[in-house]
Amino acid sequence: MKTLELTEWRPGLKTVSLIKAVHTYACRSLSEAKNDVERFLDGETIVLEFLTEQSREAFRSKAVELGVSVR
């Protein structure tokens, strides 16, 4: 499995768009994606798993565009 860590977010983060991206690219249910993003906004580092390298890189690009630091 390919993973990414969500580590920090910038003010102005588009929360709903991030939830949709987690749901789409990390194959999480909508409620799981919402829970992950809420925990992330509360200060937790979140580790997401991706089925393919392509989905991981697509998510990385989208997350950075939305204001998230990933590693």
Q: Render pLDDT for 6-28 as a digit per residue (tens, 0 to 9).
A: 999 999 999 999 999 999 999 99
Tell me the residue range of the domain where 44 lies: 2-70
The answer to whether the beta carbons of residues 48 and 22 sit under 8 Å apart is: yes
pLDDT band at 1 (very low <50, low <70, confident <90, very high): confident
CB atoms within 10 A of CB 57: 14
**Number of domains into which the chain is organized:** 1
pLDDT at 37 over 80: yes
The answer to whether the beta carbons of residues 5 and 63 sit under 8 Å apart is: no
Can you count the helices (H) and strands (E) in the chain? Answer: 3, 3
Q: What is the CATH number of the domain that holds 42?
A: 3.30.1390
In single-letter form, the type of residue at position 53 comes to E
